[in-house]
Amino acid sequence: MNLLRFLIFFLLPGWILPIQVAAQESALLIQSVELIRRGKQVSIHLLTNGAPVYEVNENLQAKTLVIKFQNARLDFVDGRKERLFNDEQIAGIRFNKVDDAIWAQFKLRLSELSYEIEPLSEGDGIAVILRPPRSVEKIDEVIPPLFELSSVALDSTKPDSSIIRFNFINAPSQGRLKEAGNTFIPRIFLLESVDQNLLTVRFPETMPIENLELLKLEDSRVRFLATRPEVNQTLIDFELLVEDLRIERTSDIEKKTWQLEVFGSPKVADNASGVVELTEEEQKAAAKAERARLRRRLTLKSMLQEAENAFRDGMYDEAIKQFRAVYTLGKMDAGEFKEPLEPFAIQAMFRAADVLYTMLERSGAKNHHRSIDAFKTAVR
């Protein structure tokens, strides 16, 4: 009997002790923090005594990243709750106790950092890898132009063609002309719409002179629509009113002149089949509607460029917002029995999906179903 009591007394602490240890080990211990830099990439290692369970909240625009460790507590030797770094990408980490969780708040020095979180290759814990945003060279808006567009003339005297003549002068600030070598006339680029109803003429390093007016440039083949000065370049849009279009361009360096000769047959209503001729008011209304459609295309084109600029600057949310605005405007006149959807609107929806995928990929997010849904919407 005494032997039985001795065995019970001796073995009882052994039964109780594992339960106490299990209760102590149930909370994750965050034991130390290490910062490792490899080139422009920074890795912050959070060492723990087991596999952590966590969730991530981010606001990269506000330079904040928060990792919430569930059922955890700090086990730092010095007892401090902050870790400060002398680093150009991250200022430090503050650890806060919230209920039974530990929130690790990363204070970043740069916005739009990309990051990813992965388990440590040796031991327990996680590695938070930070990478700087890809640098994009921005256009310096203060660079003065080399040339100024002084006038545009339309010559309709030839029976088979119309001639658009662009005249230039040297810009008041010609500091970069020496760098341009023998370039004494602006370069010219032509962009025609798919249906050949719209012509955009682009002159880089050129701005129009002050108070340039181009109001009455119109004949049976071309009609002036708009002048669009942008950053160190000028775009001029024309409506094309011809069939079998052909454009020839010539330059005169001494006179600083570009000349576009537009060939083609003017579009004339064919009444031989008995089609009822439109009244003068109806013709004006139809012409007005066509001009409105072309101006809307120019607006969509400009909005697309703004969205692309936002994407290049790393402003992904703004780029997606602007691409979707292009789609909304482009589909206004499209319906089941109306005109087909504006091509710029279709392009905008695909670009919105592209940007969303890029944003998710660079942030290390795993919810790619959002970009997949966006691509499905664009395809429909």
User: Per-residue pLDDT tens for 123-144?
Assistant: 899 999 988 766 545 545 557 8
Q: What residue ranges do the domains of the chain occupy? A: 24-131, 134-266, 295-380
Per residue in 1-56, pLDDT (tens digit) is 555 454 444 444 443 333 333 333 578 999 999 998 888 788 999 999 989 999 88
CATH number of the structural domain 134-266:
2.60.40
User: Phi/psi class of residue 3: alpha, beta or left (left: φ > 0; alpha: ψ in -120 to 50)?
Assistant: alpha
Q: In terms of pLDDT, which residue wins out, 81 or 231?
A: 81
Q: Determine the average pLDDT of the residues in 309-324.
A: 82
> Which pair of tokens denotes residue 212?
């340039």
pLDDT for the residue numbered 79: 84
Same fold across 24-131 and 134-266: yes
Burial (Cβ within 10 Å: 0-12, 13-18, ≥19) of residue 124: middle
Query: Strands, DSSP E only, in 113-180?
Result: 114-119, 125-131, 147-155, 161-170
Residue 168's pLDDT band (boundaries 50, 70, 90)? very high
> Which pair of tokens denotes residue 243?
């069939």
Q: In terms of pLDDT, which residue wins out, 305 or 28?
A: 28
Q: In terms of pLDDT, which residue wins out, 3 or 315?
A: 315
Q: In terms of pLDDT, which residue wins out, 104 or 267?
A: 104
Helices 369-379 & 343-363 angle (0-180, nearest 10): 170
Q: Minimum mean pLDDT among 138-142, 242-246, 298-302, 336-340: which range?
A: 336-340
DSSP one-letter string for 264-287: EEEP----TT-PPPPPHHHHHHHH
Helices 316-330 & 343-363 angle (0-180, nearest 10): 160
DSSP one-letter string for 273-332: T-PPPPPHHHHHHHHHHHHHHHHHHHHHHHHHHHHHHHHHTT-HHHHHHHHHHHHHHHTT
Residue 240's contacts (CB-CB under 8 Å, 6 or more residues apart) are 192, 196, 197, 198, 199, 221, 222, 262, 264
* pLDDT above 80: residue 167: yes
- Residue 190 is inside which H or E element, if any? strand 189-192
Q: Determine the average pLDDT of the residues in 316-337.
A: 71
Cα distance between residue 171 and residue 33, in whole Å: 59
pLDDT for the residue numbered 378: 53
- End-to-end CA gap in the chain: 85
CA 182 distance to own-chain centroid? 36
Kindly report the average pLDDT of the chain as a whole number. 77
* pLDDT above 70: residue 175: no
Contact 331, 342 (CB under 8 A): yes
Per residue in 240-295, pLDDT (tens digit) is 988 888 999 999 988 899 999 999 888 764 444 444 466 667 666 766 776 777 77
Q: Minimum mean pLDDT among 51-60, 182-191, 289-298: which range?
A: 289-298
Q: In terms of pLDDT, which residue wins out, 64 or 274?
A: 64
pLDDT for the residue numbered 9: 44
Three-state secondary structure call for residue 359: helix
pLDDT for the residue numbered 8: 44
Phi, psi of 142 (to 5 degrees): -90, -5
Q: For residue 147, which of 79, 65, 209, 230 has the smallest C-alpha distance? A: 209
Per residue in 354-380, pLDDT (tens digit) is 777 777 666 665 555 665 666 556 555
Per residue in 195-229, pLDDT (tens digit) is 788 888 999 989 898 888 877 788 889 988 888 88
Cα distance between residue 169 and residue 177, in whole Å: 12
pLDDT for the residue numbered 152: 92
Q: Which of the listed ranges 99-103, 351-355, 373-377 does the model predict with the highest average pLDDT? A: 99-103
- Residue 21 is inside which H or E element, if any? helix 2-25
Cα distance between residue 247 and residue 157, in whole Å: 17
Edge to edge, the sheet with strand 206-208 lists 206-208, 147-155, 161-170, 257-266, 242-252
Q: For residue 256, which of 222, 206, 211, 218 has the smallest C-alpha distance? A: 206
Q: Which fold would CATH assign to domain 24-131?
A: Immunoglobulin-like (2.60.40)
